[in-house]
Structure formats: C-alpha cells, structure tokens
Amino acid sequence: MPLTPEQQAEIDDARSHTRQTIRATVPGMEAHLYKAHPVLDHGFVRVIDYMGDDQAITQAARVSYGKGTKKVTNDEGLIRYLMRHWHSTPFEMCEIKLHVKLPVFVARQWIRHRTANVNEYSARYSILDREFYIPAPDALNAQSTVNNQGRGEVLEGEEAARVLELLKADSTRAYDNYEAMLSQDGQKGLARELARMNLPANIYTQWYWKVDLHNLFHFLRLRADAHAQYEIRVYAEEMCKIVADWVPMAFGAFEDYRMGGVQLSGKAIDCVRRMLKGEEVTQETSGMSAGEWREFEEVLNGS
C-alpha cells in the first residue's frame, strides 16, 4: 500500500484543520492539499503547499499590484502570449511543494532536473521500508531494437515469469541481507550508511520537492511525453492533473504550445514551404539527416 495507516491518520488530521488567510488560494488545489495520489505499486504524489495562481502570473507580467480593470479573457490571452514567446519569469512567481514516494532508479532520473529544492529520506539515519517496485505484466518490456533508451515488445509467457521471479527474489534477498547487517536491538552491526549500499535500485525512497511553475512545466514537457520512461511518466501524468486544477489557464497554454506543439528547424520550415508550393520533397533533397527526416515525417503524419 502507498500509505501506512499512520500516514493516512496524519493526513486526515491535517485536512481536518482549516486556517484563515488573505493570500490567493485556488479551490482545486485546496482539494488536493495533503491527499496522496497513488502511483505505481507503492508510490504516491501529494501536495504539501503551493503559492500563486493564474493571476499571479499576469500580475508579475504587468508589474502591477492587483487585477486592476483587466478581464479574465485578457489574463488568458496574456498567459498564452507569454507561453507562446517562451517567457519564463512570470511563471516563476508560482511555486509548489510536493511529497513524492518513488523508486530509487526513478529518483535518479528525476534529480537531473536540478532547478528545484529537494530533501530526501535519509538511509544514513533511518531504515528503509521493505517496499520494491515490481513492474506490472504490461510494463515488462524487452529492449528496443531501434532506440537504445527505449522499450520494445512486452515480454510474455515463460520469459515474463522468469524476469518477474528474478526481480522479486533479488529484491527480497538484498533486503534480508540489509536487515541482517544492521545494528539492531542493542547488537553490534554495520552502520546504516554502509548497509544501504547493498539495496537494489527498485527500493522506494521519499522526498519533498519544491519547484516553481516554469521549471515544473519543463519537467512535465519532458517526463509526461510519450517517449519518456513509463515509471517516471506516470508520476508526471498525475502531476499534470494537479497542475490543471491549480493554474488552469497556464496549463491550457502549456498543453497547447508545449505538449501539443512542435519545434521545427530552419530546414524543416523550408521543406514545409516547398511542399505548400506543390514541390515533392524527399529526404535526399531536404538537407536533413535520415534521423531528422524520420522525425519530420512523424510530425507531418501526426505519429
């Protein structure tokens, strides 16, 4: 289970108390506060705190002290302009703090996004729980033959059963040895900071992750993409739902210009113009490499 009874009791207690404030709040985010949204087999994402809303973005862009006489439609148009022209500072006025429980190998991908504040559960001071990520059968893929970073066909039958059994057995054995090495019940044993080195990369860790909206959008653009690794993508997809309830106008612009849009090179734009004039353009006459041409065709064909 993603949450222990003790953690759920703590969340229920936190949600039972309300506090008066005059700062901007968002009903959609108030509903998310402290709730754990399950991800994978033992993971979750939950909102601890947030600052700002759609109006905070437009306010910063206008350098004003309030909404003034601007209409909501003007705010949305301004946000779309800012997103369309890759402005960043106004989006940095909004921040969110998340509590995330995730496998260590996912955390090592996630931490590559360095423009955030992170505090992770320390296995130097505490003992990690016996919780491991074991892929569901439909997420157990072979290595892709065309992409060194991707997955191929789903494993089936005896091969799938063999891999799952290896994952479970190795995880259990590594944790058994971890426990055996630790100093417990007054007995001498290996220090926690050393015993942890024997743990597998699919064990779960937790952290608090605080980031501004501009850098969060950058994370989501890469990690909620269909080409991202499944295990980090499902976290990003859950976060997208939360952000949509937090800053709906900004998220709508993000979906349109970043998630649903494409960036074309100068050569690609030239090819489009030539095609619109009726010219037949091939990879050989495009000036693009084979890889560039393949990606260009995928954009044109919507694949």
- CA 223 vs. chain centroid, Å, equals 5
Identify the DSSP state of 43: E
Distance of alpha carbon 262 from alpha carbon 221, whole angstroms: 11
Q: Which of 192, 223, 273, 294 is catalytic?
A: 223
112 is catalytic: no
H-assigned helices in 155-212: 157-181, 192-195
Distance of alpha carbon 280 from alpha carbon 131, whole angstroms: 57
- CA 13 vs. chain centroid, Å, equals 27
Q: 46 has which bridge partners?
A: 36, 99
- Tell me if 178 sits within 8 A of 198, measured CB to CB: yes
Joined tokens for residue 103: 């496998």
Distance of alpha carbon 46 from alpha carbon 212, whole angstroms: 16
Distance of alpha carbon 116 from alpha carbon 208, whole angstroms: 10
* Bridge pairing between strands 95-103 and 43-51: antiparallel
Q: Which of the residues are catalytic? A: 223
